[in-house]
Amino acid sequence: MEDSTLTQSPNSLDDLFRLVKRLRGENGCPWDKKQTPESVGIYLIEEVYELVDAIESGNSEQIREELGDVLFHIVFMARMFEERKEFDLSRVARTITGKMIRRHPHVFGETEVDSSAEVAQNWHKIKLVEKKDNKKQSLLNSIPAKLPALMRAYRVSDRVANGGFEITEIDENQKDPGVVADGLKAALKNYDSHLASRHIGDLLFTLVNIARLAEIHPESALAGSVKIFEARFKKVEELVSEAHQKIDEISVDEKKRIWQKVQKIIQ
């Protein structure tokens, strides 16, 4: 009777919990039963990226669906640890609720703040207090090692700055990408690929710091530029196709002419 109700009119979080329990149960799905936290973690990362894509599209139906996919994987993950008798989703909810209350003393306590920047500073101070029992704890230890490099660079830069080590005050080059670019030019001129790689990394990290100071997330900035480039290139493909030509067969001068035209069309 329970399963019949579930399949006919699922309408609550409890139904989702029951569904996952059934999938993992004795007579459940062979594929779902063999999954591990490690395997589901990979799928969860993919689903989060799909959610971000949906959010950027602005399509509320797509966002709702992708939120559901992320929620399913979170419930699924929690169920696996519940099976191990380590914790359940209720304990997860209690833990995060307690953490958010501690980290928002300006909402749930007597602390007063004047800006979002002050909120962020207090947040980092509270995190340090929470981890004070471990004297060897680094500010950087909690940053996931598997974050994409650009996102991790921003997190590292932001974390150390909030911890009192503003790299742009200590290393002037971190505010001037031109200085780092000069080193890159020299490395490329000397065909030194190892040194060039290092300088490219330094240049990217410098730009990350500049973006942080400008209160711009470099991941969002790059994503926006890539999106524009993709739109422009697709327009180039369209114009070349309309002229019954192929991109790899037209001259460089013709490509430049088309590209300049497309740049004016797509800003």
95 and 122 share a domain?
no
What is the residue range of 240's domain? Answer: 221-265
CA separation for the pair 57, 39 (Å, rounded): 28
Domain count within the chain: 3
User: What does the pLDDT average to over 108-125?
Assistant: 86
Of residues 217 and 171, more confidently modeled: 217
115 and 40 share a domain?
no
The region that residue 58 occupies, defined by phi over 0 for left and psi between -120 and 50 for alpha, beta otherwise, is left
In a domain, 227, yes or no: yes
User: What does the pLDDT average to over 246-261?
Assistant: 93
In a domain, 116, yes or no: yes
Structure tokens at 261: 């035209």
The DSSP secondary structure of 76-103, one letter per residue, reads HHHHHHHHTTS--HHHHHHHHHHHHHHT
9 and 91 share a domain?
yes
Domain final residue pick, 54, 79, 100? 100
Long-range contacts of 101-109 (CB under 8 A, 24+ apart): 102/126, 102/130, 103/127
Within 10 angstroms of residue 216's Cβ, the number of other Cβ atoms is: 13
Are the C-beta atoms of 83 and 21 separated by less than 8 Å? no
In a domain, 154, yes or no: no
Structure tokens at 59: 């399509």
**pTM score, whole prediction:** 0.67
pLDDT in tens, 87-104: 999 999 999 999 999 999
In a domain, 196, yes or no: no
CA separation for the pair 255, 97 (Å, rounded): 56
The answer to which of 58-72, 174-188, 224-238 has the lowest mean pLDDT is: 174-188
What are the CA-CA distances from residue 103 to residues 96, 113, 129, 226 (Å)?
Answer: 10, 13, 11, 35
In a domain, 90, yes or no: yes
69 and 116 share a domain?
no
In a domain, 239, yes or no: yes
Instruction: Please report the pLDDT score of residue 1 as a whole number.
Output: 41
User: What does the pLDDT average to over 134-141?
Assistant: 71
